[in-house]
Structure 1
Amino acid sequence: MKPVLLDNVTHRHLRVRTERSAALGDARQSALALPGEFRQLQAHFPIVFQWVETDAGKGGFQPIVLFGLEEGQNLFLTHKGWDSPALPMSLQRDPFLIGRAPDDGLQLHIDMDSPRVVRPEEGEVGTAIFLPHGGFSDYLDRLVTLMEHLHAQVQHLPVFIEALTRHQLLEPFVLDIETTGGEQSRLTGLFTINEERLAALPGAALETLTREGHLMPIYMQIASLAQLPVLVERQSRL
């Protein structure tokens, strides 16, 4: 990864490939999902939680959408492109990132190592980032709005996870899968919300979860598990 500050002079001729393919990094089993988009995503993908270790040796839960049942498998990626009307924000933002300015303000960076970046010598493939005279393209305008929303959601995520862990709502689960060849496999290392524990919470706790905006994404995560059999069915078509 090579993130650099985006500017309309150095990068005025850069373009971005927005289609979906394995060559552009989309052959992945999962992607970060944020609570504010659970309502949209739950109709198309299973939303689960995984434990993620940090560089500092600490760790925490992170919500993800599942695209496949095996490492590197994306059952929504076809030879025609992306086979779903929904796409998590964490994928939409590629190849852009949010950085910090010296005054602690937010800056937009671009990963120059991303296969989505098209340099001038590669021709006019992809979508322009800037207009010929340096202004933002419609694409970049939409991207900035997306990044602002994504950043706000990322800031809210630890609060959501803290609420789940405070009420001990997360539990591990496994998914047993039978391949088309008749072999048995098991998907492990994932967590979901314990419905019985949620239902047993006192009214005051539920009221607090509702007031803090957590209850809706909790129910959306539970509803998304209906997509697990759909994912298995997609795999059976392979």
Structure 2
Amino acid sequence: MSNKTPLHNEAHKALKVTASNDFSRFKAQHLIPVVVQEFAPLAAEFPIVFVKNSDNGQFIPVALMGLKEGENLYCQTNEWHSPVTPLGFRNAPFSLAKASEDSNEATVCIDLDDPQVNSEDGQALFDDKGEQTEFLKNRSNALLELAQFSQQTTAITQYFAQKDLLVSQQLTVKLNEQPLTINGLYLIDEKKLAELATPEFEDIRSKGLLPLIYAHLNSLHQINRLTMKQLQKDK
């Protein structure tokens, strides 16, 4: 549950926010949406795959953090041990909301029920004059930047789909000799990529998308890491 409300320098002048590496709020979310700007660093730890939104048919890149639906192997405790962290994990207790239904402007909201929010310890949000502190400015800018990254990610993923490069792939791993099948995932098809006509391939290269594709493909080796983590958890 959350209690998100638009930030206001009068109503929230006494609020402070503490730092936290507790991401256990994602413990039941084995697929974590990511943006293309973080493909390279995340690929060293997590498999990056694509899933399809059943409501609108659009593809979404995600970091696979668990082999079983509803179980994030990295977020079962309040301690984060991975050397890399998805950008979206750092949002809380802040979020963006549209100022109005027809507006392109966004307002920064805060979750008043988040344990990081209090009136005693942490970084202040407003100074004595009611102006935003540098901390709040930085956090607001990070939210806006991530929103821009998300728009770019949507456009690039749609481009891959238009080129017919995303194919459904069933993944099967062995857990104590028992096969576990993961459905609903999409990968870049290396064969189709190699068979593209030269102008199409050059278009992808000129847009700077090849490093994203290779990061995605290389990240699939991390499925072995997830398998080992699942085996350790099941012991």
For residue 135 of structure 1, report the CA deviation from its aligned partner: 4.2
The one-letter code sitting in structure 1 at the alignment partner of 2:40 is R
The alignment covers a number of residue pairs equal to 228
Which residue does the alignment assign to 2:71? 73
CA contact (8 A) 2:19 2:116 kept: no
1:236 is displaced (CA, Å) by 1.6
Question: How far apart, CA to CA, are the structure 2 residues paired with 1:16 and 1:189?
Answer: 38
Q: Which amino acid aligns with 1:222?
A: L
Work out the CA distance in 1 between the residues paired with 2:123 and 2:174. Answer: 45
Give the C-alpha shift of residue 104 in structure 1.
3.0
1:105 CA displacement: 2.2
Counterparts of 1:1-238 in structure 2, within 5 Å, are 1-16=2-17, 18-21=19-22, 24-27=24-27, 28-54=29-55, 58-77=56-75, 79=77, 81-101=79-99, 104-113=104-113, 115-120=114-119, 124=121, 127-133=122-128, 134-180=130-176, 182-238=177-233
Bigger mean CA offset, 163-172 vs 10-19: 10-19
Q: What SS class does the counterpart of residue 84 from structure 1 fall into?
A: coil
How far did 1:30 drift?
2.0
What letter is aligned with 1:59?
Answer: G
Distance in structure 1 (CA, Å) of the matches to 2:75 and 2:154: 30
Deviation (angstroms), 1:119: 3.8
Unaligned runs of 5+ in 2: none
Runs (4 or more) in structure 1 with deviation over 6 Å come to: none
Q: CA deviation at 1:145?
A: 2.7
* Contact residue 77 and residue 83 of structure 1 kept, 8 A: no
Identity value in percent:
26
Retained in 1: the 8 A contact 2:46–2:222?
A: yes
Take 1:231 and 1:84, find their aligned partners in 2: how far apart are those partners?
12
SS in 2 for 1:25: helix
Amino acid in the other structure paired with 2:174: E
What displacement does 1:151 show?
A: 1.1
CA RMSD of aligned residues (A): 2.4
User: Which amino acid in 1 is paired with 2:222?
Assistant: Q
2:98–2:104 contact (8 Å) kept in structure 1: yes
Contact 1:46 1:227 in 2 (8 A): yes
Deviations 1:88-132 (A, max 9, x none): 12221123222233563232122345x345344xx53xx334155
Question: SS of 2:46's equivalent?
Answer: coil
